[in-house]
Each structure stands twice: as structure tokens, then as C-alpha cells.
Amino acid sequence: MIPDSSISVVPQFSEKTPVLKLGKTRTIRPIAAAALRGITFHENRLWAIDTINGYLLQVDPLNDNTTVLNSSRWRDFVGVTGLAIEGDTLWFTRDDSVFFCPLSGETDPKRFVSLAYPANGIAVWKSTIYVTCEKAGYILVFSRGTGQEITRFYAPGIGVENLTVRDEELWVCDSAEQTVYCLDRATGDVLFSVLTPFENPTGLAFGSNSEGEDATLYVAYADREPYIRDNPNADLELQYRDRTFIHPLYYHFNSRDRYALSNGYLVEMSYVEELSPLDPIELKNLEWRMALPAETQRQKVRQIEPIGLPFREEIQDGQRIAVFQFDELNANERYVFGWKALLEVWSIKYQFVPKDGENLPPLPENFRDRYLVDNDNLAMDTETIRKAAKESIGTETNILRQMYSIRNYVYDRLSYGIKPHIDPPDVALNRGIGSCGEYLGVLLALARLNNIACRTVGRYKCPPHPLKRNLPLEPDFNHVWMEFYLPGFGWLPMESNPDDTNEGGPYPTRFFMGLAWYHAEMGKGVPFERLLSQGLPLTKEQASIGELAINHVRFTILEELQPE
């Protein structure tokens, strides 16, 4: 606990300091900042708190010019996480307490309230104070006049949250969920949510430009990134450095179709096979089939062109397929062939709640033979998988709650591990370790045994570096995830494994009915690649794609897009 008189704010600007006007939105990188947490706009100035250095910063959004406003008392602001300005009063959170003081710095801050747990973020709306507390799991609402708690709202996510207020809306960012939520300020009900383009959002604020256009939502991010340090006294070292910046969050909520889009990117993706057989082989009348990118609510295909060799396009179960034809293929030949696509990709989050999983129409009849059966070595007839299918849902009958329970059941029982091949779901579940493909197999088997139609989607994720433009980026691995079918609406996405979250939960819901911009969708419910010789599918024993060719996958991020 810190004494009430130990903090003093002394703003370092005068009447001659120019008023900052926001023009074209851009990434803001405050100079010398290590980890930004709370941010706010006040009289067209951006204020931010650097929780590591203890700097209260004023930043020019147009050129990143940075001023430290508490140059003589920075130590007292180390650990501050939330920041808000209302009128001529500065509010902030540190440790388990909320403080306030005049912007003029004429008097020391006073303690407003102390919590049972650490206070994370703060927002102020006239006579109402909103405070987030991750450990309590609530947004606490206080009366400014009495300091008494008025009510509390459930925190929409599981991570550390910060917040801001705009009119009748309460906006909350969650570091673990990679999500910004728009809440009704009076009730705390979630109106919609959007995924952020970067991980670990730590603060947010609305800023308007000088032309009076709609305010832009800016989100702060703070994280650490690996880099190779050239140590003159030793070999090259893998080190970590702080990474923090502020970036506009663009979003569009489609209330009719129940989804929200956020920051999109124009991406060039290429998938190419380099023919290089490991063993002698001769195949006649060969069709080499590759899935092409799909048209979805979050992915638009501007252009597709062949690489190396021409292809014809076919439609298989509603999916676009490139077919390369070889009259004869043998081990002495070398080819490079594939496709290049120009894609618009967006983050998407569907806005369904448990009540939407009740009183549903029946599943389309043709879905049963395609999406409720074991058509991919799913071990659905084994005792291990049948028992797990029953345990995973218990007595739940709501389809959305069932799918959520199945997800958590699998996440609880598997740890992520990369393997050279994919084992059946019963083997993976008994072992307790699985790759993304093995996670997916278990999820598909348990969902289908519970009459939830689902299918495989993949196949790659663009390296998630949207600020690295016009540079070729290569993914480390391929990737698969799934979609499950909500009767009366359609297909909803879900990640196959818990990604980089801690094992044991609670698990973020960011990719439950949501996908980040870097997912490239193709091959929905159909093989990504397949070989046919003289019209018949080849088995792996006859010819394995991995033994015939080397694949080359490349993404290039060209520009950022705003939803209309």
C-alpha cells in the first residue's frame, strides 16, 4: 500500500504547447516507452502510462513526439495500470487502489477506494467510476460522490482488462482474449466484440480528428518479442525486448448476420509444389488436386493465378479446387507448380449466445452422411472415444454449450506437441499429447458422436506480423482447425487447440466462433491436396505427396484495410 501523499503529477506543458489534431490514423510509437497500459485522449492530446518506467506521457499522435509529464516523480508511477481523465481530474489505478488528483498537479493524489485484489483498469463517466479487477472477475462500479460500490458486471473475458467510456457504451479490452468488447454502460451486457490485430491489448481510448469525423478507437499493446543479440563477448544470443505501441482498431458490426469484422489486410499468398521424388516412380494420367482459397464472410478472393504450370478449376462440395494434369510423371522430371492468390482477410467474431443454441431446426438431411460419420480415421467406434463423447457434454442439451464443453474437455486432456505423423483420436487421447491435427481429430470425433455436424478447415496461417509489409513471410507449419454447424444459421469456426495459452484453463474464447485475420481458409470439408491416377485416388503406399514434392508457402502483407 502506498501513502496518499506519495504521488504528484506535474504536467510539463504550457499554453504554448500546440493542440494535437488527429489526421490520418497511424501506428503511434511513444519514444522511450517500455510497456503502455492505460491511455486516454484529453483536449486532443494523447496521454499514456508506461507502467515499467513510471512515465506519465503526453504523445503527439502525428509524429510520436513524447513528453514525460511527471519527470521528478516517475518512481511513484511505476506499476500504474489504468488511466482516465474526467474534467480537470486525473484518475489512475495502482496495486489494489484507485487514486485521483488535479491535472494541474497542485495537490498530491488522494486514495479513492481500495479493493480486495489488484485494480487493473479505470474509466470515469461524470459521477460514475468503473474499475476492472481480473482476480475478482468483475467490473466494479462506484459512485464518485460516496466511494460506495453501486453494482458490478461480470468481466467479459478471462485476462487483464482495461476500459474506456463513450456515451452509453463501455469499451473493454482483454489481454488474454485478444478482444475488445462493447458493453451497455448501464447493464454490462455485451453488445458485440471484435478481435484485435495484435496480441496482448492493454489499453484503449477514442480520439477524434479536427474535422469532426467519427472518433477512432485506438488500442495500446504491450508485450515482449524475441531477437538475436550480437554479443561482442560471446556468440549470438537469443534475448527478449519490450514491444509497445498504439494502433487504430477498425471494426464493423453486422447485426443482421450476427458477426463483427475488425482490421483486415490485403495479403498475397502462394502455394507451390516443387517436384522432387525421393524414390523411382512412374504415374500415368495423373491429376494433382489442390484446394484454392474460399470466399467467406471474412475472406475475399480478389485474384488467383497459376504458378509454373496451368490448371483447370473444379468445384468439389462447394470448394474451389485447382487441378494440374500430367499425362505421365516420373522421377526424372522436375516441375514447380501451384497458385498465387490476392486475398482480403479480416478478423471475425460471431455474436451468438447460449439461447441461440436452443429450439433449433433439424440438421439438413444430406449433412448426416457427410458431417456425422467417421470418414477420416476418427476412431468413433472405439470405447475410449465413445466414453469421452458422453463425458464431454454430461447432461447438456444446448448445442453451443455442448460444443464449448467438448472444446474444454479436449483442452483439459491434451497438451500440445509437434509430431511427424497424426495418430487416431483414441491414441492421442490416451497419450495426452497431440499436434493441432490430433486435437482436431478428437474434437471432430466427440462432436460428431454428439450429433454436432463439423468439418475440417485449413491449411495455413500467415505469420502474424501485420506491421511487416511487402516482405515475404513463411509459416513454420501447416495448420488445421474446424467449423461446427449451427442449424438455422450456418458454419461457425473454432480453433483446434488452445494455441499459446496456459494449460489447465480457463481458456480464452477469442477463437470460439471467431478467427484472426491471419487464418487462410481453404479446403472446407475436402482434402487440401489429393492425387488421382487414371481417375482413382492413390493411397499413401502407392504415392505420398510428401515423398514426391517439397511445398513452398509464402505470404506477403501488402496493406491494411478498413471494413465498410
- pLDDT tens-digit map of 493-542: 999 987 656 677 789 999 999 999 999 999 999 999 999 998 899 888 88
Q: Quick one: pLDDT at residue 541?
A: 81
Q: What is the pLDDT of residue 240?
A: 75
**Of 555, 478, 526, 549, the residue nearest 320 (C-alpha):** 526
Q: What share of the chain in percent tops pLDDT 90?
A: 76
Question: Strand pairing of 299-307 and 529-533?
Answer: unpaired
pLDDT at position 217: 96
- For residue 84, what pLDDT is reported? 97
- What is the full DSSP assignment across 423-480? --HHHHHHHTEE-HHHHHHHHHHHHHHTT--EEEEEEEE--S-TTSTTSEE--SS-EE
The mean pLDDT value for 536-558 works out to 92
- Of 81-95, 149-163, 236-250, the range with the lowest mean pLDDT is 236-250
SS3 366: helix
Is the model's pLDDT at 4 over the cut of 60? no
Single-letter residue type at 221: Y
- What cell numbers appear for 458 in the block? 485449413
What would the mean pLDDT of 545-549 be, rounded to a whole number?
91
pLDDT band at 488 (very low <50, low <70, confident <90, very high): very high
d(CA 48, CA 226): 25
Stretch 114-135: mean pLDDT: 97
- Give the confidence band of 226 by pLDDT, cuts at 50, 70, 90: confident
Section 237-258 average pLDDT: 90
Instruction: Check pLDDT > 90 for residue 233.
Output: no
What is the DSSP pairing of strand 415-416 with strand 433-434?
Answer: parallel
Residue 417 confidence class, pLDDT cut points 50, 70, 90: confident
* pLDDT band at residue 464 under the 50/70/90 scheme: very high
Q: Which of 169, 166, 173, 214 is nearest to 194 (CA)?
A: 173
The residue that leads in pLDDT, 13 or 388, is 388
Q: Is the pTM of this model over 0.95?
A: no
Phi, psi of 547 (to 5 degrees): -95, -10
Backbone angles phi, psi at 109, to 5 degrees: -60, 150
The SS3 call for residue 404 is helix
pLDDT band at 17; cut points 50, 70, 90: very low
Secondary structure of 293-324 in the HEC alphabet?
Answer: ECCCCCEEEEEEEEECCCCEEEEECCEEEEEE
Sequence-distant contacts of 209-216: CB under 8 A, at least 24 apart: 209/21, 209/22, 209/23, 210/21, 210/22, 210/23, 210/44, 215/166, 216/22, 216/25, 216/248
State mean pLDDT over 139-158.
Answer: 97
Average pLDDT, the chain: 91
Task: Report which of residues 184 and 211 the model is more confident about.
Answer: 184
- On the question of pLDDT at 216 being above 80, the answer is yes
